[in-house]
A and B are shown apart, each in its own frame.
Chain A
Amino acid sequence: MTEAVFYVLAVSAVITALLCILSRSTMSAVLWLTATMLSLAAIYLLLNAEFVAAIQVLVYAGAVMVLFLFVVMLLNLSTVTTDLRGPASLAAAIVLVGLLGIQLAALWRYTPGRLAAEVAQSPALADPSALFAAGDLARREALERGVVGGVAVPLFQSYLVPFEITSVLLLAAIVGAVVLAKRRI
């Protein structure tokens, strides 16, 4: 059942992503990407990451995409001609994406057992539940503290310094965006 739902969502994510990169109008590209992000949010639910799914809908599909839509509407672009590049770029894209796709396609067949065999480098030691105890620990933590608590405790303990650095990054981004958008450059 879970797998069937996953494959439906995966197909919808791939189709909306294809429509996103091929659609002629900028507005529909942004809206198709929003659909991709919503499919991904549902996939996160299947992968036991409920809080990330909620944040994906609120921050990504909500805030970031609305920012894109605002800019698209502000610029009022004409959609008469296509903006696809010439045949040379098409050939380059096919070669590049083909190579990348072949390399990444191997990931399709990964299972926890195979990952464990590669990490342990010997078939005798390859026991996923022993090697990846952190996953089970996190799952028990989530049951104990709730979905948000299971993510928040490590975020504000082990990852406190990166979290604070993030606030400096956001401040710099705000200042940069205001300066760039306000003055005539």
Chain B
Amino acid sequence: MTPGMTLLGPALGLSAILFSLGVAGVVLRRNAIVLFVCIELMLNAVNLTFVALAQLHGASGQIMVFFVMTVAAAEAAVGLAIILAIFRHKQSVDLQNINLLRG
């Protein structure tokens, strides 16, 4: 047992709190960029779970964190490009004004 092993429960709890805060942000805010920031917060919370459990299950958990980071970087690049395109079209990033697909 290394010192970090005793932190398994508290680390999982912290990850739960951060994930809940990310969900709260997505539900509460209307700004598209802040929405992306909250999604990054949720991805970080999941990364913390992977790292905490990697102490028991070997390096696979840490490798999964790299894949999550790659997907997050790709998502941020494409998402922010979409936000830029929408902003040039509508002059706003408020989700209330973006209702093109609403019937």
Interface of chain B: mostly helix, strand, loop or mixed: helix
Q: Are B28 and A21 in contact (CB under 8 A)?
A: yes
In the complex, which residues of chain A have a beta carbon less than 8 angstroms from the beta carbon of B76?
A: 64, 67-68
Q: Are A180 and B78 in contact (CB under 8 A)?
A: yes
Q: Are A107 and B37 in contact (CB under 8 A)?
A: no
Count the A-B residue pairs with Cβ separation under 8 angstroms: how many?
Answer: 256
Q: Are B27 and A96 in contact (CB under 8 A)?
A: yes
Most buried by A among B5, B52, B81, B85: B81
Interface size for chain A: under 10, 10 to 19, 20 to 34, or 35 or more residues? 35 or more
Q: Are B73 and A134 in contact (CB under 8 A)?
A: no
Q: A26-B33, A43-B11 are in contact. Are A135 and B21 (CB under 8 A)?
A: no
Tell me, in angstroms, the Cα distance from A93 to B21 when the chains sit together.
10
Shortest Cβ distance from residue B101 to the other chain A in the assembled complex, whole angstroms: 14
Interface size for chain B: under 10, 10 to 19, 20 to 34, or 35 or more residues? 35 or more
Q: Which partner residue on chain B sits nearest A138 by CB separation?
A: B58
Q: Which residues of B contact A (CB under 8 A)?
A: 1-25, 27-31, 33-34, 36-38, 40-41, 44, 47-48, 51-52, 54-60, 62-63, 65-67, 69-78, 80-85, 87-89, 93-94
In the complex, which residues of chain B have a beta carbon less than 8 angstroms from the beta carbon of A40?
A: 44, 47-48
Q: Which residues of A contact B (CB under 8 A)?
A: 2-3, 6-7, 10, 13-14, 17-18, 20-21, 26, 29-30, 33, 36-37, 40, 43-44, 46-49, 51-52, 55-56, 59-60, 63-64, 67-68, 71-72, 74-75, 77, 83-85, 89-90, 92-93, 96-97, 100-101, 104-105, 107-112, 115, 128-129, 132, 134-135, 137-139, 141, 150-151, 154-155, 158-159, 162, 166, 169-170, 172-174, 176-178, 180-181, 184-185
